[in-house]
Structure 1
Amino acid sequence: MQSFRSEIENPIVEKDIIDLERKIQQFYKGEIDEERFRSLRLARGVYGQRQFGVQMIRIKLPYGKLTSEQLHRIANVSDEYSRGRLHITTRQDIQIHHVSLDRTPELWAELEKDDITLREACGNAVRNVTASETAGIDKDEPFDVSPYAHATFEFFLRNPICQELGRKFKISFSGTDKDTALSFMHDLGFIAKTKNGVRGFKIMVAGGLGSQARLADTLFEFIETDKIIPVTEAVLRVFDRFGERSKRAKARLKFLIKDIGFEAFVKLVEDEQKALSVKTFPIDTAGFDKDVDVSHVEIPSVEIKDQQAFETWKAINVIEQKQEGLSAIGVKVHLGDFYTKEARILADLIKKYAGNEIRLSLRQNILIRHVKNELLPFFYVELQKLGFVDVGYESTLDITSCPGTDTCNLGIASSTGVSAELERVLKTEYPQYANNKEITIKISGCMNSCGQHTMAHIGFQGMSIKSGNLVAPALQVLLGGSVLGDGAGRIADKVLKIPSKRGPQALREILNDYQSNVKVGESFLNYYDRQGERYFYTLLKPLADTTNLEQSDFVDWGADEAYVKAVGVGECAGVVIDLIATLLFESEEKLENASESLKKEQYADSIYYAYLSIVNTAKALLISEGKKTNTHAGIISQFEEEFASKIELDVPFSEFIFQIQKNEPTKEFAESYLIDAQSFYKKVDAYRANIVSDEA
């Protein structure tokens, strides 16, 4: 396992991977608590599966961009460390499953050879930064948002202000007012705008799905591009300090704003301005603004055996780019799953015959970019060999689904099984929806909405339902969600719960009623609003009857045995249980990080590491006294109240720690703040040692 170290060129990455390897060994030896170790590995993209003893690895791919070389690398890693299956997520990541924990450092090192990271793909950090998959080629976009998404990804990767948040934090970039990156459901959503010829963004804040969905507020109607990094940093600083940490269900940014109010939140963001690491951050777009040159690409001669099928595919799955003479090809990937054999062939195709780039979509598909229009027949023939020409890319027939009970600990009922059956029903009974880009169908295996069912026109959520003493898999039917555009959205209504095996019939009832009653020119949403939620409850109510269930109703989709509700501990959104000794040990590590950052003249990072050490140290002492430690702000106020007379400081504790907010990140302040943090740690450590000694 040690051989990979000499092959990693980036010393920061090398340290990261070695640290993961070391933490794994410490965990095996019992030196790290299991709950704390969970937090450590999640921050490195290693997620526990439903199946015992294996891990899911989430590969972080900013805005879903992949080159041929990177796709080959991921395929090689999947074959070597897993089973050759690749899963595209609704955040434009790729997941591979069934990986041994022992091999994760080596796997990570292999990926880094082509600049692919696992860092912060899971856990309570800034997750993958997503963007419209058509960014850079969309005829309607004011500018390409890709470089801004990339700069945001890079700036906050390993950034100390967002390593141990109360919960995950999600950021998106939409290229147009159509809001295809779904800004309204993100912690921070950016929508490209221009004002008097100047590039900028509308910024949405504190949206989210899950069991308590919330539509985002508008933080700024327009802000210039060089301000988006400072704004994001300020929001993250506020979330880190005031966000809930103990109650997982209340720990997202949307709950903080709900608790304190939007105006109070904005004031807190404004109060952080002096402490920011940068006041302005111009983003270099040079590498993205260059046109892709595919003029040299040869055009092989091919024979189209079914011209009508080709024309249908071209009309539905091909997108005309803003670059003259080029098109993008949408590949509908069933359930987001494809395999390494197809991945390698696809990688070779885009390298030789296109712009050497694909983008993964938010609906778990693949978009091949920069294809000469003359090459469309050739690509059709080649993709047909791979089974990649199913029509319906990003259409009603293209159902979004999370893995559900296949691999996820939180899955309540199968989402992939019912998705497959619904797609079959649509394809055979409702083929006319292959080119319907309006109605979306989304399915999640639990309330967390990884399949984004709460924003679908037609959504399904995995549940369970009782029938006497027996329990059957079930689906909550939701209707009326949608993306409205320009930061606005709709959350779907929960209509009723039905046994899961009746999901296909529920879809038939809805679509049949829509086709029978929709008015000319009326959208699905207007039709739904006109009929009303109660109408659909009555329409579907016969399917909710549990007195007439058959034996097959107690077997979930894709299963052979009777359904058993088995929900494990969720990890991606989990909050860890901290031990006092572990906290104090981590305080020391943070002081070391502060010192290292100071040597590298990274003053803002040094200051924040010192701040985190002080908070961690105070938290450890409060936990030893049985006190609550829900937020950083709460820790600070409680520590001042409980230990003002026990830990001697020259000023009140709040004033001591909040120097971070009152000073600019200069070398002088970084040095003095680090000395303060080191001194505070020594005082607390000595106090704790005396207490332990007395208790013994």
Structure 2
Amino acid sequence: FDVWVGGGLSTNPKIGQRLGAWVPLDEVPDVYEGVISIFRDYGYRRLRTRARLKFLVADWGIEKFRQILEDDYLKRKLVDGPAPDQPVARWRDHVGVHRQKDGRFYVGFAPRVGRVDGATLTKIAELAAAHGSGRLRTTVEQKMIVLDVEQEQIDSLVAGLEALDLRVNPSPFRRGTMACTGIEYCKLAIVETKARGASLIDELERRIPEFEEPITININGCPNACARIQVADIGLKGQLVLDGEGNQVEGFQVHLGGALGLEAGFGRKVRGLKVTSDELPDYVERVLKRFQEEREDGERFATWATRASEESLT
């Protein structure tokens, strides 16, 4: 494994940093025990606003962090290693039908903004038991996976999931939109998120059905970034904004062009760019169409958003 430390989002986001070390599988527990122990012994745990490893790494620097990890905790040097290869997959969310190492398959599907009610969960469990081993997984992208499916069972399982409106081959909007719990169940949230995200998916599928590029749209109900707004193509941070008549209404501050992976970076904020909840479908449609018009061949949305003019992003 390649080791990274010190990442985190919320109101003070920081990108994790590479230790520059390669760790074989059997040494992984020693390394993460060492990293956690450094936080226990040196982290700012008495200060609630700084009780995260990212603040310690930012103050120490990555060289000092690695030295202390090696000298004081592991009692040995780590093996230097190159950065991992650039990923080639267009998506990294496990959606679709994929072969497992044992020759069977797993089937990943996309609930709308990660919301699944109890009755639907029961039906998913029944499908997993009938078509696989009964094993299910959830993912950090608000997706679900049925494991251990034999090849002859794939079509039946996909049909059963699709009948529940759980898409195995979803549109980019269904596949790439996620939302935090929002004001419906969270006392910190300022705006509604789940229903807003679901309606946004429906509107975008209707308005630009030809759009096929990977796109992530992350919707958060407050500044705390549970839905990781800073590292989405389009990140939406909930807040109260003024509408055209001067009334306070639910809306979002917009972050554009964030990304994870080896080209990680935080989204760009255009000064004064905020949209009301009602204006959201119009705004996202407008920006995505400008991306289609202005992008270079093979260019990702995040790359385009970084270089695009402010006029193209508003």
Q: Same fold (TM over 0.5)?
A: yes
**Preserved contact between residue 96 and residue 168 of structure 2 (Cα < 8 Å):** no
Which of the residues 128, 141, 145 maps onto 1:363?
Answer: 141
Q: Deviations over 1:82-132 (max 9, x none)?
A: xxxxxxxxxxxxxxxxxxxxxxxxxxxxxxxxxxxxxxxxxxxxxxxxxxx
Choose the corresponding residue for 1:456, options 227, 232, 235. 232
Give the distance between the partners of 2:161 and 2:199, measured in 1 at CA: 24
Consecutive unaligned residues of structure 2, counting only runs of 5 or more, are 77-93
Q: How many residues align?
A: 294
Matched, 1:520 2:294: no
Looking at structure 2, the residues matched to 385 and 535 of structure 1 have their Cα atoms a distance apart, in angstroms, of 42
Q: Determine the structure 2 residue equivalent to 1:491.
A: 266
Q: Does 1:225 align with 2:2?
A: no
Structure 1's unaligned 5+ residue stretches are: 1-200, 277-315, 541-696
State the SS of the aligned residue for 1:501: coil
Conservation of the 8 A alpha-carbon contact between 2:96 and 2:109: no
Alpha-carbon deviations, 1:653-675, whole Å to 9, x = none? xxxxxxxxxxxxxxxxxxxxxxx
Q: Which amino acid aligns with 1:452?
A: R
SS at match of 1:432: coil
Counterpart in 2 of 1:416?
194
Q: SS at 1:330's partner residue?
A: strand
Among 241, 257, 272, which residue is 2:57 paired with?
257
Query: Structure 1 pair 324/253, CA: closer, same or farther in 2 (3 Å)?
Result: closer
**Backbone CA RMSD of aligned residues:** 2.7
1:367 and 1:524 mapped to 2: Cα distance? 27
Q: Identify the residue that residue 82 of structure 2 maps to in structure 1.
A: none
Within a 5 Å distance, the mapping from 1:340-419 to structure 2 comes to 340-389=118-167, 391-392=169-170, 395-398=172-175, 399-419=177-197
CA distance in 2, matches of 1:456, 1:507: 13
Over residues 20-60 of structure 1, what are the superposed CA-to-partner deviations in whole Å (9 max), with x where a residue is unaligned? xxxxxxxxxxxxxxxxxxxxxxxxxxxxxxxxxxxxxxxxx
Checking the alignment, whether the CA contact within 8 Å between 2:235 and 2:255 is kept in structure 1 is: yes
Partner SS for 2:45: coil
Alpha-carbon offset, residue 352 of structure 1: 3.1
Shift of the 388–521 alpha-carbon distance from structure 1 to 2, 3 Å rule, reads closer
Question: What is the alpha-carbon distance in structure 2 between the residues aligned to residue 424 and residue 406 of structure 1?
Answer: 20
Q: Describe how 1:571-590 pairs up with structure 2 within 5 A.
A: none
Residue 430 (str. 1) matches residue 208 (str. 2): yes
Amino acid at match of 2:96: V
% same residue: 26
Q: What residue is the counterpart of 1:446 in the other structure? A: 222
Question: Would the alpha carbon gap of residues 215 and 498 (structure 1) be closer, same or farther in structure 2, given more than 3 Å must change?
Answer: same
Contact 1:425–1:504 at 8 Å: present in 2 too? yes
CA separation in 2, counterparts of 1:275 and 1:454?
Answer: 37
Q: CA deviation digits over 1:480-512, x for unaligned, max 9? A: 111243xx4121112222223221111011011
Q: After superposition, where does 1:81-480 map in structure 2 within 5 Å?
A: 201-273=1-73, 318-323=96-101, 326-389=104-167, 391-392=169-170, 395-398=172-175, 399-433=177-211, 436=213, 438-466=214-242, 470-480=247-257
Instruction: Return the alpha-carbon distance in structure 2 between the equivalents of residues 521 and 471 of structure 1.
Output: 40
CA distance in 2, matches of 1:267, 1:389: 47
Other-structure match for 1:509: 286
TM normalised by structure 1 equals: 0.39
TM-aligned CA distance change 1:249 to 1:503, over 3 Å:
farther
SS, match of residue 272 in structure 1:
helix
Distance change in 2, residues 1:390/1:477 (3 Å): same
| Secondary structure at the counterpart of residue 147 of structure 2 | strand
Distance 1:478 1:439, change over 3 A: same
Note if contact 1:404-1:445 (Cα within 8 Å) is conserved in structure 2: yes
The CA deviation string for residues 534-556 of structure 1, in whole angstroms up to 9 with x for no partner, is: 344xx42xxxxxxxxxxxxxxxx
Question: Match for residue 101 of structure 1?
Answer: none
Q: Contact 1:318–1:327 (CA<8 Å) still a contact in 2?
A: no
The question of 1:531 aligning with 2:308 is answered yes
Q: What CA distance in whole angstroms lies between the structure 1 residues aligned with 2:152 and 2:73? A: 53
Shift of 1:326: 3.6
**Cα shift at 1:477:** 0.8
Measure the CA separation in 1 of the matches of 2:187 and 2:71: 40
Give me the TM-score of the superposition, normalised by structure 2. 0.83
Rg larger for: 1
| Match in the other structure for 1:609 | none
Cα distance in 1, alignment partners of residues 97 and 155 from structure 2: 14
SS in 2 for 1:406: coil
What CA deviation, in whole Å up to 9, does each residue of 1:243-289 have, x standing for no partner? Answer: 2234333221111122233333333323432799xxxxxxxxxxxxx
Amino acid at match of 1:440: T
- Indicate the residue corresponding to 2:90 in structure 1: none
Q: 1:250 to 1:273 in 2, by over 3 A?
A: closer
CA 474–385 in structure 1, closer or farther in 2 if over 3 Å, else same: closer
Rounded to whole Å, the distance in 2 between the matches of 1:416 and 1:217 is: 32
Cα deviation, residue 329, structure 1: 1.8
Q: Which structure has more helix as a fraction of its residues?
A: 1
3-state SS of paired residue (2:260): strand
User: Does structure 2 retain, via aligned residues, the 8 Å contact 1:397–1:426?
Assistant: no
Deviation per CA, 1:362-404, whole angstroms, max 9, x where unpaired? 11111112222222232233224433247417x3333110001
Q: Which range is displaced more, 236-245 or 446-455?
A: 236-245
2:89 — aligned with what? Answer: none
